[in-house]
Structure 1
């Protein structure tokens, strides 16, 4: 089991503080397992159906640095699977590692496909088909055999929750983990469909309470979201309590098909899910993210706020898009050499917010800092519409707006030491814009300007080099 030592504390974060997405590439439907001292994430390869012929996995001991394990399962190793390999569900039992998966996206009982099970001797595989056929190959209670999750209760009984087409079932797994058991009434498939169920079943247990989660809405739409129910039994009944995760038009859309991971030995929980960047319209352009999951005193789950942070501790800049300059993430910082207007932007769309970053300027006659409410960026000193606040090696803080040309709104003296990190903050609420340097109580600049109301957040340099760290953007208030 995971047992953090005194030297390595349990990973306790407010979100993926080294940035979401936390791994590179288009992936969806993540499920999580903790094997020994390592977290494992198994997602769907988010590609067109015909190209969904493999599964990758990612492992981490700290939820920050991730190692990719390619092709842990391939359709070449499953005689009946051809494409649409979806939603892997990992579990370990008796020294064997099992991976349940859906394949072929069957539309009726005459087609070959459904839910299969593969087995391996190691978490990273390679996994091989355990049965030579699907474990569940037909529709029962109207549930398409997809989107499975496996849960082992405290008494050792294993259950599988699955379903699509707005119906969800639970089945028992026998101790061999490759055959189905029966319930006390002799049935094999129990329907547990809660209100507004679409797909993406997931089960976990906390303090003796069973939590059933599922996805609602259309997977290609902005309405994709996660809801949950609580019960005293692993088979329900499950009545919807609340929607716990939904799109945020400032951060990402289509957030859903989740799993949950508990850091063993703690009450630290995370929701792991996929979402689509705001600028992406391709349904398959989904990325993996996680945020902290919090519980109220009565055991209900607080709604999840997708946070925007990046401390670059993973030494990458996933999610950032650059315009000019040479940007490098290393040693926990995001650096760019001296350039006349290089920008790096996040795909966000904030209106009223507080935006913080540690900014270190090197040398030169210019400045470095934060861009916000940005649209239409391209390479060039002022090739964007939006605002910019920066500090200079010469000891000045400046605020202005750009739209192909530069309009300075205000400037002030500030104690700036080259090669030393300074905390730069911008708060923007409506037309009120304030800029703080190190002292977060008294603004160095305070102006009123209503030219731009919302847009992307980012970083910029002008005629200086700089490094950036501890980027945080949050809605105002």
Structure 2
């Protein structure tokens, strides 16, 4: 017999379990970014599951957000000669916003920073608050429209300027020696400009702050405007951040609502048959996500040439940040319905490390690095890497390659991380090559409670897909995409927290990390999607059925509703009494509905 320590617990077990005694486990061959072929399992006993997608595929939006290092906001993106160029605001106090950087990429995965493509030294009238650049190429020249000085009335110098360069990386210099738009027109502060050229060659500038939006025609020289063409097009809810793009002959106007320093910042949109509108609001497509980030807004979009693939670029504020200027650049896939309307954007929390970095990860207890498209740690008693998230009901998975000793796996609903062994609060699911075991447990700043474990053949230096599904107090652990969980436990000690990776006494590697909210409608104990979250599929649930699913009577204060779904909440059992209907995420239900759910119907399209 041998003595093996797994995650703080001590167990005694016999020699290595017979492979014949175990149900078959499929080991997938994993393609790591930067490698040309799949890495075969060390034993040679199994190959990729037939029909399963290859893991580790390097595709846009697969390598995690933020995609660039530093505090930035208000990104606008263009494609020049097959290269994507993102021009953001340098997010800092106004007096420090005196220049603009840019980022370029050939694949939307690997990004190169270009410092100070525009500097106030090249704009005689700009002194501060250089904001929201919008690029365009025409007349064999690269133009960059920008706001400066944050003017509050017509007696102040500033507004919207235009700079030009013969290179998308700059340097850009002032094209006219004065602001292009220097006064409030139709109540619109001259900021947050977006340049758009229609198919007929007519250029338009959309802009405006102080809850007013204008459009004006730009002449073909791109540095003067048709002063008789100013038109207010302010849609309902507009605050700032206008954006125009065209798809299938339709004109899409996007804008930001709410306060830029607040958690209610969001992106809404309208569709019109003309670049001049009218633009009736159709809905909000990007909002804060209490599990991932707040303050998401001021966006642009890009269409991958030759495809109908679209991505939305925007800024957001990491959870817990209180400085309004602490904003980062992010992008996610944007999908359209068959009628041309836009589906709500799902913020992704995933990382396959194809970009060669680990932006957004915080590490504890060991040195971590990206090597050959995987996230690896030096062997230490306890190595942790966390993403700044706050998931409750979730699905978390990753390809985990354990070392010959110790164990490695996934952290979830985690808080209070530290460098010491088990110095965190939360749950951990891991696999151990040395003891052929999968384990699920709970840590509480030094103490460890095993919740469930099972034998499984685990070989060192072989990648295994490990997945955790947590809904309310119910936790399930899956290995290698099995249809049924290998482990299951019930525990409600921790309601929510960060997701991450952990290696105990193991030099492990991780790839294809992906965290999502659990599928279905999610009901939360507290407002703002706080407290314990329980996910339910479509159906009708009496009080007894809700209790069985982990939802007490008169408990729900907020809920998430998938796009197109309807949730009917009833005051009494058996679908009687007052009914409240929800068709969208609701951070706090009406006061008369708070903590009043006794039965519920969930309808999906």
Q: Fold-level match, TM-score > 0.5?
A: yes
CA contact 2:75–2:298 (8 Å) conserved in 1: yes
> 1:475 matched to which residue of 2?
517
> 1:412 matched to which residue of 2?
454
The correspondence for 1:310, drawn from 329, 351, 357, is 351
Q: Please tell me whether residue 390 in structure 1 is matched to residue 430 in structure 2.
A: yes
The correspondence for 1:149, drawn from 173, 190, 194, is 194
Alpha-carbon shift at residue 15 of structure 1 (Å): 6.4
> 1:240 matched to which residue of 2?
281
Which ranges of structure 2 fall in alignment gaps of 5 or more residues?
Answer: 1-56, 520-605
- In 1, Cα distance between the equivalents of 2:351 and 2:451? 28
The correspondence for 2:175, drawn from 111, 123, 130, is 130
Q: What is the TM-score of this pair, normalised by structure 2?
A: 0.75
- In 2, Cα distance between the equivalents of 1:264 and 1:445? 45
> 1:455 matched to which residue of 2?
497
Residues 266 and 439 (structure 1), Cα distance of their counterparts in 2 relative to 1, 3 Å cut = closer
> 1:268 matched to which residue of 2?
309
- In 2, Cα distance between the equivalents of 1:75 and 1:130? 13
Q: Deviations over 1:254-294 (max 9, x none)?
A: 10000010011111111100000112111111011111111
Q: Please tell me whether residue 96 in structure 1 is matched to residue 136 in structure 2.
A: no
> 1:252 matched to which residue of 2?
293
- In 1, Cα distance between the equivalents of 2:335 and 2:178? 40
Alpha-carbon shift at residue 437 of structure 1 (Å): 1.5
Give the alignment of 1:333-348 within 5 angstroms.
333-348=374-389
Provide the secondary structure at the position in 2 that maps to 1:76: helix
Provide the secondary structure at the position in 2 that maps to 1:125: coil
Give the alignment of 1:151-166 within 5 angstroms.
151-166=196-211
> 1:171 matched to which residue of 2?
216
Alpha-carbon shift at residue 188 of structure 1 (Å): 3.0
The correspondence for 2:324, drawn from 269, 278, 283, is 283
- In 2, Cα distance between the equivalents of 1:442 and 1:269? 35
Which ranges of structure 1 fall in alignment gaps of 5 or more residues?
Answer: 1-11
Q: Deviations over 1:196-228 (max 9, x none)?
A: 100000000000000000000000000000000
The correspondence for 1:332, drawn from 370, 373, 380, is 373
Provide the secondary structure at the position in 1 that maps to 2:330: strand
- In 2, Cα distance between the equivalents of 1:14 and 1:330? 18
- In 1, Cα distance between the equivalents of 2:256 and 2:371? 37
> 1:8 matched to which residue of 2?
none
Larger radius of gyration: 2
Provide the secondary structure at the position in 2 that maps to 1:339: coil
CA contact 2:60–2:108 (8 Å) conserved in 1: no
- In 2, Cα distance between the equivalents of 1:130 and 1:440? 61
The correspondence for 1:38, drawn from 83, 97, 100, is 83
- In 1, Cα distance between the equivalents of 2:386 and 2:224? 50
Aligned residue pairs total: 461
Residues 13 and 420 (structure 1), Cα distance of their counterparts in 2 relative to 1, 3 Å cut = closer
Q: Deviations over 1:169-218 (max 9, x none)?
A: 00000011000025xxxx23110000010000000000000000000000
Q: What is the TM-score of this pair, normalised by structure 1?
A: 0.95
> 1:211 matched to which residue of 2?
252
> 2:412 matched to which residue of 1?
372
The correspondence for 1:432, drawn from 474, 488, 500, is 474
CA contact 2:194–2:205 (8 Å) conserved in 1: yes
Give the alignment of 1:348-363 within 5 angstroms.
348-363=389-404
CA contact 2:258–2:264 (8 Å) conserved in 1: yes
Provide the secondary structure at the position in 2 that maps to 1:105: coil
CA contact 1:425–1:440 (8 Å) conserved in 2: no
Moved more, 339-348 or 195-204: 339-348
